[in-house]
Structure 1
Amino acid sequence: MNKTANFQLTQWEKTDRIMMEDFNRDNAAIDAALKSNADKAAALQTALAGAGNCSIETKSYTGTGKNGKSNPTRITFSKKPKAVLICGYGYFLPLTDKCGAHAQAIYSSDRLYIEPDLVYSWSGSTLQFYSDRDFWAQGNVKDYVYQVIAFY
């Protein structure tokens, strides 16, 4: 009598005597394997439900050409994101909810710069940020549209 490779289930040949014990053993093995898979699937489902799902929100804003503490850039989201990316006109700004009050923007006007003192804060679901250097560093070039991706 032959056996399957994975679960050692009975595979009869024409000359084998078919026995009830063989069927019972095979059914018990199949039942145990199905139960194990069902338990693993349920555990994964529970873990996934506890992890939450990532969602995104996209927005855009148009630069005003202004900068500084009295002219911050403001973006309001549907809720406070875990992370935000702002891109456009040679500008890249990543922010997370774990950063301090300062962030680093990478941008280029006539050459590549890093703005080490971009100041940002949250008021509910509204992000505001500014740079005292210039409107390039603040990501606020006049009439340019910046793309924003928020991750929840």
Structure 2
Amino acid sequence: MTQTPHYKLTQWDKTDRILMEPFNQDHAKIDTALKAHDTAIAAKAQQSDLTAEISARTKALAAETAARTSAISALNTAVAKLGNCQLYTTTYTGSGAGRTENPRSFTFPHPPRMVILTNGTAAYWWILGRNFSANSMGSDPRSNIAFQFSGNTLSWWSTNSTGLTMDNKGETYSLLALLAMS
């Protein structure tokens, strides 16, 4: 009796007697080898599926990253077109100041370019530039309001005791401003 070179399966010669033991051993070897082969093929299939899934997810992530990058770029472009001002609003309660000897003032987080004060019935506004200013007082005899602009602070006061100062004690006022951001 001889054996095959790789799996050592029994090979009978014409003169050999076929015995049950070598025959069963050969079948056990074949079964074990086939099972190992099936397991290896399944592992390769799983690896192939995993590789395909990783590849698909990588492509999807790359597409999502590109889309987000594009959206961020578009948003940055849109923000750049918004200008150089920030809208600022607040309210304050009058303190009774606002006279020449005791001006009312407000300090903004950035230099104001336009300021509007109102109590709901009257309003004052200032447009403040680098070398100019304009206001809403005009020729109204009650509008004897003076103002000073310095850095981020706007101060205003009445030049007579009957002026409207937007600072009556206990009264609530609204303030709206455009602040320079650049």
State the TM-score, normalizing by the size of structure 2.
Answer: 0.46
Distance 1:55 1:147, change over 3 A: same
SS at match of 1:82: strand
Give the corresponding residue for 1:125. 152
| Aligned residues of 1:59 and 1:149 also touching (Cα < 8 A) | yes
RMSD of aligned Cα (Å): 2.9
1:2-151 maps to which residues of 2 (within 5 A)?
49=80, 52-98=83-129, 99-100=132-133, 103-105=135-137, 115-134=142-161, 137-151=164-178
Residue 86 of structure 1 and its aligned partner are, at CA, apart by 0.5
Cα shift readout 1:81-131 (whole Å, capped 9, x = no counterpart): 11011011522001111454x74449xxxxxx6544311112210110001
CA contact (8 A) 1:104 1:115 kept: no
Q: Is the 8 A contact 2:127 2:135 kept in 1?
A: no
Do the aligned residues in 2 keep the contact of 1:67 with 1:134 (CA within 8 Å)? no
Structure with a larger share of its residues in helix: 2
Report if aligned partners of 1:67, 1:130 keep a CA contact under 8 Å in 2. yes
Q: Report the identity percentage.
A: 23
**How many residues are aligned here?**
101
**What secondary structure, in the 3-state scheme, does the structure 1 residue paired with 2:146 have?**
strand
Q: Residue 116 of structure 2 contacts residue 177 of structure 2 at CA under 8 Å; is this kept in 1? A: yes
- d(CA) in 2 for partners of 1:78 and 1:87? 20
- Per chain length, whose mean CA-contact separation is higher, i.e. which structure has more relative contact order (CA < 8 Å, sep 6+)? 1
Q: Which amino acid aligns with 2:118?
A: C
Over residues 1-31 of structure 1, what are the superposed CA-to-partner deviations in whole Å (9 max), with x where a residue is unaligned?
xxxxxxxxxxxxxxxxxxxxxxxxxxxxxxx
TM-score, with normalisation over the residues of structure 1?
0.54
Secondary structure of the residue aligned to 2:164 is: coil
Task: Mark the CA change 1:139 to 1:117 in structure 2 (over 3 Å): closer, same or farther.
Answer: same
**Hey, what's the Cα distance between the residues in 1 that align with 2:158 and 2:99?**
5
Residue 136 of structure 1 deviates from its aligned partner by 5.5
More strand by share: 1
For structure 1, list consecutive stretches of 5 or more residues without a partner in the other structure: 1-44, 107-112
CA distance 1:122–1:69, change in 2 (3 Å): same
Distance 1:147 1:137, change over 3 A: same
Mapped partners of 1:135, 1:61: distance in 2: 21
* Cα distance in 1 for residues equivalent to 2:119 and 2:85: 24
Structure 1 residue 137: Cα displacement: 0.9
Q: Is the alpha carbon distance of 1:70 and 1:128 closer, same or farther for their aligned partners in structure 2, counting shifts above 3 Å?
A: same
